[in-house]
Structure 1
């Protein structure tokens, strides 16, 4: 009967451990200590369940008296995974009580038992700390991520080489040192670096070192710790990953305050190094939609270097000729779009002027005022046509200012051009909407005797632009979400 199992392959010992009946579990173990308890349908063995529930007394009993103990669990994990993860609220419970469960296990005696379970498992079978789950993560990786410093120190003390086991698959992987940096675990970084001094040279699957990871994660404390603790800071800051990006390139994706503070504290670094796409940190920052002000570049050496860079030519590997720097390409792209917009604005200005002179319905032959002057739709036409005329005129005026500002190349000028370009596009959009509304109001006013046709024309005129705009907005949002998801996934890996 001890060896029998139910519909989910739970034996009596599975049940006793799960219900935390210590005396029953002892009785079952003593009756048949040679029986090998296999995993149930959920992939759990009695030892795994005891470790997950932090049932330390029962775990000790099975480890000491079972002749053929089995440690496997679901998702390719073992009992040591369970002991480390369950110490911080990881178990099969509903999300509604997860917070209460977390507080109970970390503040009460269960939190102490989690450490004792880890100690017992390491003492009995040290190789558990080197086994990975289906995600490629060892118990040490989870201990570092979940702030289980006690368990991580025990593993590092008993099996220091476990630090060199990579987390992840064959194509994308990282190291325990990178995980500590990514999650801001400065204490664990100190523990790992004290036991493994060569960890500062470790890189992940993308060829990124620990400083790459710290900057991508935007952890100021970790960046500060690397600056103060590592005597290889200069080597780390110049190291390039597989894309040719140094940690300085990745500053473009951090908060402006972090970026400015870093440049202020390290003004002599080479912020104009190129990656494999011939981009500097500043080029990547502009492409990401955020501009770095020249106020952060007060160092004379940096300013001199920036002047030299402004006249440098970049070789184009496809055509074998020299092309203008990326910043000048930005100027050309903005000016090209602005020229198209000014042509459209001129056409709108001409149409609205003509429509304002030749009003729908004509003029009274004797008195000279419009025949539809008392019509509400005609009044709306006049207002919409006037707004469209003025907005198109202002758009042309903004273009004239934009041309004047584009006479010289500089990052400050590019920032001003971007603002003017935004205003030009906004004014042109309002002018186009005004033209559509003016046209619909004019049609409604002239078709007033045919009320059904006038209403149908008005509904159709408003419906089509709304549908087109919604389709554009939804497409833009979907692309934005996709790009953000790819960036998030890249940073997580």
Structure 2
């Protein structure tokens, strides 16, 4: 294309543009490398005067596509040039707005031209969020909403996905039989649910309630996606309209309650069970119920909810197709905290056998203590278990935990106990130092005769107050840490000792940090006017913080905070169960 022609179309210089065409009318038929005409360029940059000049000279350019199959109308709709779309459409139809209802089929062909992706001008307007253009096109030709592109996407689907409520309502009102399909066999309702457009979903359900049962190419309904995303509000709304969708399985044999259990969405499971109390009986192709799936994915909160829900009681001892109950599965997967919940529930049958004649205890003798050493040791133990497994569900030929793994556990626990002895010494030392510091106040005491005799001289100093606070915190944390270590060694089973150790280590770290702060503030309180001592105290304290932080970071690498939290939560649950079971 002639550079002068391109630049004048791009800039909107209609006078120069006319001069060029008057000198050489054939310039108008030149193309860019992508086979865009001058009309494509003028439309893209929104110059209506140049567009009108080109159209008046050569109307056939309106339907000429470029290499992507886009006509100038496609380009105008994509970039949202409403004035140009309005002008070109009116010129094409050659009539006023009040006569739109009498448009001939030949005239509409121009509007319904598709590009290489099978997109119409309405697809382009909706995909790019140009509401005004989309509404205008729908007024002219409501049947534009009935076309799907190469990916199977309808304008209604695009509007639902992008959250364009006004366009969606316009499509539904102007064309009730509009196409609603989307990519991968999804519908507009799938898109609304996945993108969490609740208002869009409500609009679709008013006009096209049948979409609630339609599944995509994977067999997944809108309810399935809502359950997977944990959107309990959408789940509740969909089930209010039709409870049968809770029993629809996808092509892999999973139901909405299964996917909710795998993702840990307790609120979704609660809604499904409330509307469909027997949905807990659904199993996947391997015979797994929601409790099996929750255990396999380590969703302890779902396990607790299922154990506390009367409607799901039947899942507690339900075997899969290999005869494995949830307890068997928790044993194989070494889900320590889940094993605790199951063992404390009196309804769990500890003697249940799978089809190989094995109880959970026979699969792993260590279930009697229902605990593993630590998450780091678990990484070393798990491969030895899975080495015996053929597939995810073909289990339990003759699975036994190797003596080597058990020995590794015992050695690891012994190591933690030795470290605990050292930590106990540190905690005791901090307790001693902070206790002594509390009675050896910076600045000394008032020895003068009077009512203030024996009181600290610096009691009104802010640094002194911080010294008292941090010294108290350090002593308290170190005493608790020492008690935890002693309690863990005396009252806990060996494999649970690791949790007491990590708790004591965290408290000891707090005590060390507080001791460092007490040292800094004590120096500042005693010698407030000595700048070099303030600087020295700050440097020493900062170095102390860094060293203790590095030590703690090495310690944290050995443990998992969620694992430790679950341990203490499990103890609280155990205490709760004991209180409930008291006569």
When normalised by structure 2's length, the TM-score is: 0.46
Match of 1:383 among 470, 477, 480: 477
Are residues 1:115 and 2:48 paired? Answer: yes
Q: 2:443 aligned with 1:360, yes or no? A: no
Whether the 8 Å contact between 1:48 and 1:78 is mirrored in structure 2 is no
Deviation of 1:212 (Å): 0.7
The answer as to 2:206 corresponding to 1:265 is yes
Q: Describe the superposition over 1:236-285 as per-residue Cα deviations: whole angstroms up to 9, x where unpaired.
A: 34x4x451211111121344441453266358434132222221112212
Q: 1:193 to 1:224 in 2, by over 3 A?
A: closer
* Structure 2 residue 52 is the aligned partner of structure 1 residue 125: no
CA distance in 1, matches of 2:170, 2:132: 10
State yes or no: 1:305 paired with 2:237.
no
- Across the aligned residues of Structure 1 and Structure 2, the Cα RMSD in angstroms comes to 5.0
Q: Higher RCO, 1 or 2 (CA under 8 Å, sep at least 6)?
A: 1
* Secondary structure at the counterpart of residue 174 of structure 1: coil
Partner of 1:437: 506
Task: Give the distance between the partners of 1:383 and 1:344, measured in 2 at CA.
Answer: 31
SS of the residue corresponding to residue 155 of structure 1 reads helix
Q: Note if contact 1:267-1:297 (Cα within 8 Å) is conserved in structure 2.
A: no
1:166 is aligned to 114
Distance 2:558 2:168 in 1: 47
Q: Give the structure with higher Rg (CA).
A: 2
Give distance in 2, aligned partners of 1:249 and 1:129.
36
State which of 189, 210, 225 in structure 2 corresponds to 1:284. 225
CA distance in 2, matches of 1:297, 1:212: 18
Instruction: Output one character per residue of 1:146-166: Cα deviation in whole Å (capped at 9) or x when no partner.
Output: 432332244334375443443
Mapped contact 1:372–1:445 kept (Cα < 8 A): no
Q: Per the alignment, do residues 314 and 153 of structure 1 end up closer, same or farther by CA in structure 2, a change over 3 Å counting?
A: closer
Cα distance in 2 between the residues matched to 1:115 and 1:468 = 69
Structure 1 residue 63 corresponds to structure 2 residue 21: yes
CA drift at 1:184: 4.5
- 243 and 62 in structure 1: CA distance in 2 versus 1, 3 angstrom threshold: same
Matched, 1:81 2:14: no
Q: Deviations over 1:305-353 (max 9, x none)?
A: 34xx33x55564xxxxxx45232243256332144473799779x999x
Change in Cα spacing, 1:267 to 1:380, as seen in structure 2 (3 Å) is farther
5+ residue gaps, structure 2, are 93-106, 265-293, 301-334, 341-370, 375-412, 438-469, 485-498, 520-540, 560-583
The 8 Å contact of residues 72 and 78 in structure 1, kept in 2 or not, is answered as yes
2:5–2:27: 8 Å Cα contact kept in structure 1?
yes
Mapped partners of 1:459, 1:432: distance in 2: 17
Q: Distance in 2 between matches of 1:386 and 1:173?
A: 71
CA distance in 2, matches of 1:138, 1:362: 79
Q: Secondary structure of the residue that 2:18 maps to in structure 1? A: helix
Report whether the alignment pairs 1:325 with 2:255. Answer: yes
Matched, 1:218 2:213: no
Q: 1:162 to 1:80 in 2, by over 3 A?
A: same
State how far apart, in whole Å, the 2-side matches of 1:251 and 1:224 are: 13
**Could you say if the C-alpha distance between residues 342 and 115 of structure 1 is closer, same or farther in structure 2, counting changes exceeding 3 Å?**
same
Partner of 1:475: none
* 2:550 is the alignment partner of 1:460: yes
CA drift of 1:433 comes to 8.2
Residues of 2 paired with 1:384 and 1:221: CA distance? Answer: 64
**Alpha carbons 1:248, 1:271 under 8 Å: kept:** yes
Asked if the contact 2:194/2:226 (under 8 Å) is kept, the reply is yes
Instruction: Please give the alpha-carbon distance, in whole angstroms, between the structure 1 residues aligned to 2:202 and 2:500.
Output: 43
* 1:216 positional shift: 0.9
Pair 1:58–1:150, CA change in 2 (3 A) = same
Q: Is the partner of 1:271 in helix, strand or coil?
A: helix
- Counterpart of 1:360 in 2: which secondary structure? helix
Deviation at 1:121, TM superposition (A): 0.6
CA shift, 1:69, in A, is 1.7
